């Protein structure tokens, strides 16, 4: 059982700034996103983490996550498709307001899903794969990925349905840690952006 799984959302991109759904489109980091990734790396290489010696690192293959990983000082990470962002299908690149124009004013991604894209259950199955891998390790693991997949991963770590992820906000270049309390899955830290202050 892994002592912890550390989650990093990629740094700022143009689409994360404008609120556009960014699934499989390979939108690059902005200069600000690169700065954020470097600050996160500096934090993880200081006490109490000290570079996380012995940590196993995996990253989404999309460039915004891979580059965040590299700039944070973990360039030897294994690329893993399970960490890719939700495939938003017809909603790719659209803001929630634009999607509501198409799907109705009460559209809510965690309830209604996406048109012509990946069902939430499939996102959850990928998150479950990551949870299973993390729990089988005998050391900390570190993953670099995207907002929605990491939120679903958090929900599944805790044993909740994937829609619980609606309650787990994640900002760009945030650090979250999932671990254990009294033998049960627990959140140790969530959406921590203290390194950006």
User: Exposed, middle or buried: residue 197 (CB in 10 Å: 0-12, 13-18, 19+)?
Assistant: exposed
Q: What is the pLDDT of residues 58-91, one digit of tens each?
A: 999 999 999 999 999 998 899 999 999 999 999 9
* pLDDT at 1 > cutoff 60: no
Q: Tell me the whole-structure pTM to 2 decimals.
A: 0.96
Residue 157's nearest CA partner among 182, 180, 123 is 180
pLDDT-based confidence at 98, cuts 50/70/90? very high
Active-site residue set? 10, 85
Between CA 166 and CA 107 the distance in angstroms is 13
Domain residue spans of the chain: 5-88+118-196
Mean pLDDT of 95-108: 95
Cα distance between residue 59 and residue 57, in whole Å: 7
pLDDT digits (tens, 9 = 90+) for 163-195: 999 999 999 999 999 999 999 999 999 999 999
H/E segment holding residue 112: helix 109-112
Q: pLDDT tier at 138 (50, 70, 90 boundaries)?
A: confident
With both helix axes pointing from N to C terminus, report the angle between 31-44 and 63-71 in degrees, rounded to the nearest 10: 50
Residue 5: pLDDT band (50, 70, 90) is: very high
- pLDDT for res 137: 79
Q: What is the CA radius of gyration of the chain?
A: 16
- Asked if residue 2 has pLDDT above 70, the reply is no
Give the Å distances, CA to CA, from 179 to 70, 125, 189.
24, 20, 9
Q: What is the mean pLDDT of the segment spanning 121-141?
A: 94
Instruction: Decide if 187 contacts 174 (C-beta within 8 A).
Output: no
Write the pLDDT tens digit of every residue in 6-39. 999 999 999 999 999 999 999 999 999 999 999 9
* Phi/psi at 42 (5° precision): -60, -40
From the candidate CATH numbers 3.40.309.10, 1.10.287.180, 3.40.640.10, 3.40.50.1240, the one assigned to the domain spanning 5-88+118-196: 3.40.50.1240
Would you say 8 and 181 are in contact if contact means Cβ atoms under 8 Å apart? Answer: no
């Amino acid at each position: 059982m892994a002592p912890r799984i550390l989650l990093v959302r990629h740094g700022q991109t143009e689409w994360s700034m404008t609120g556009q759904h960014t699934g499989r489109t390979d939108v690059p980091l902005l200069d600000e996103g690169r700065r954020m990734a470097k600050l996160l790396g500096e934090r993880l290489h200081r006490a109490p983490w000290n570079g996380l010696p012995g940590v196993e690192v995996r990253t989404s293959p999309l460039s915004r996550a891979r580059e965040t990983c590299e700039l944070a000082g973990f360039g030897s990470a294994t690329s893993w498709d399970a960490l890719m962002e939700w495939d938003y299908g017809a909603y790719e690149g659209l803001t929630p307001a634009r999607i509501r124009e198409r799907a109705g004013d009460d559209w809510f991604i965690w309830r209604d899903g996406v048109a012509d894209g990946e069902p939430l259950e499939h996102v959850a199955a990928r998150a479950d794969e990551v949870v299973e891998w993390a729990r089988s390790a005998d050391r900390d693991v570190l993953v670099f990925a995207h907002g929605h997949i990491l939120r679903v991963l958090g929900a599944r770590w805790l044993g909740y349905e994937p829609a619980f992820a609606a309650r787990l906000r994640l900002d760009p270049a945030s650090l979250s840690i999932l671990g254990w309390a009294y033998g049960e899955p627990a959140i140790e830290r969530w959406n921590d952006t203290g390194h950006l202050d």
